[in-house]
Amino acid sequence: MTLHMTTPATTRQTVLTVDNLAVHFGGLVAISDASFKVDEGEVVSLIGPNGAGKTTAFNVISGFLAATKGVVAYKGRRLNGLKPHQIADAGLVRTFQKTSVFGNDTVIDNIMIGLHRRGDASIWQTLLLTPKVRRQEQALREAAAEILDFVGLGHRSNELAGALAYGEQRLLEVAVALAAKPSLLLLDEPACGMNPTEALNFRNLLGEIGRKKITVLLVEHNMRMVMGVSDRVVVLNHGRIIADGPPTEIQQNPEVIRAYLGHGPKHA
């Protein structure tokens, strides 16, 4: 059963458009003429075998890699050529395959780092620690604590991020991304390294993120999670999209089963 609270299709607008995307590394074709879209309020999963081009697509969408050809647009604004921070400022925020937390800082300070871009104090006000800066710091700390409670890490707030278990570090990454107030959250294998209980809790968290009206584009190998949370699934194989549809349709697609799922829906 899908956990995500969907928005009625009649009210949805397309927010992300990937049109005829191609990425070449010399003579190697990483992605070939891929087109898909993400509608507002959806959870869309991008799946496929290792090397299919999923992370490459994420890197192009988030500005870390230039496309050979094609257009990526968010809410009608072309993203090609923008820097990653400009794309993040537009509301597209991503996580990475490998954890990127600040291990020598506390869990709550990791969130504070993500939140400080919301502040408006001048450098002199900050250096002098004016009352405005102190009020702002307190407000940001309260916001950070709220985010940590939301992802289930409130009890770890004063511990060093590097001391967290790997699955908790993945949760912290998502919390840092949420601190940037995304309208579209790109999650690159967020459940990697999680045990079954952590993965189930994260699956429930995705449902809660959806209820906050945050659109999600997910790359994930945990098929139980993908089929449980996704409104649609886009399947890549050898850089080419071979299927795009609801989970029940994807589970029955013969080409997808041959290329990726392998054993049909009972093992998906």
Q: pLDDT class for 8, splitting at 50, 70, 90?
A: very low
- Each residue of 185-213: pLDDT tens digit? 999 988 888 888 888 889 899 988 988 88
- Beta strands 77-78 and 69-74 are antiparallel
SS3 state of residue 160: strand
| CATH 3.40.50.300 correct for 9-101+182-267 | yes
The rounded distance, in Å, linking the Cα atoms of 151 and 172 is 8
Give the model's pLDDT for residue 39.
Answer: 95
Instruction: Give the start-to-end residue ranges of the domains of the chain.
Output: 9-101+182-267, 103-163
Hey, how many other C-beta atoms are within 10 angstroms of the C-beta on 118?
Answer: 13
The rounded distance, in Å, linking the Cα atoms of 244 and 200 is 25
If residue 109 lies in a helix (H) or strand (E), which one and from where to where?
Answer: helix 107-115
Give the model's pLDDT for residue 176.
Answer: 92
